[in-house]
Amino acid sequence: MNTKWIVLSYKVPIEPSTILVRVWENLKALGVTYLQQSVCIGPDTMTSVKKLNRLSS
């Protein structure tokens, strides 16, 4: 089975920290794995893409 992946790199302001925490929680709920700070990888599924698009707006 071929699995496609999304690599995501993001930058959010440190303050207020609630934004950073919200982004982190949403990404963890999608099942991403962090490669390093602010860089993660997750499955390339329709659901993930829709949620990432909502999160980026």
Cα separation, 2 vs 16, in Å, equals: 40
Residue ranges per domain, the chain?
5-56
**What predicted TM-score, i.e. pTM, was given to this entire model?**
0.73
Task: Report pLDDT digits (tens) over 1-40.
Answer: 688 999 999 888 888 888 888 888 989 898 899 999 889 9
Confidence at residue 19, expressed as pLDDT on a 0 to 100 scale: 85
Between 11 and 57, the higher pLDDT residue: 11
For tokens 């700070």, the residue is: 37
Look at strands 5-9 and 33-36 and give their pairing: unpaired
Q: Which two tokens stand for residue 34?
A: 């962090």
Confidence at residue 15, expressed as pLDDT on a 0 to 100 scale: 86
Confidence at residue 1, expressed as pLDDT on a 0 to 100 scale: 65
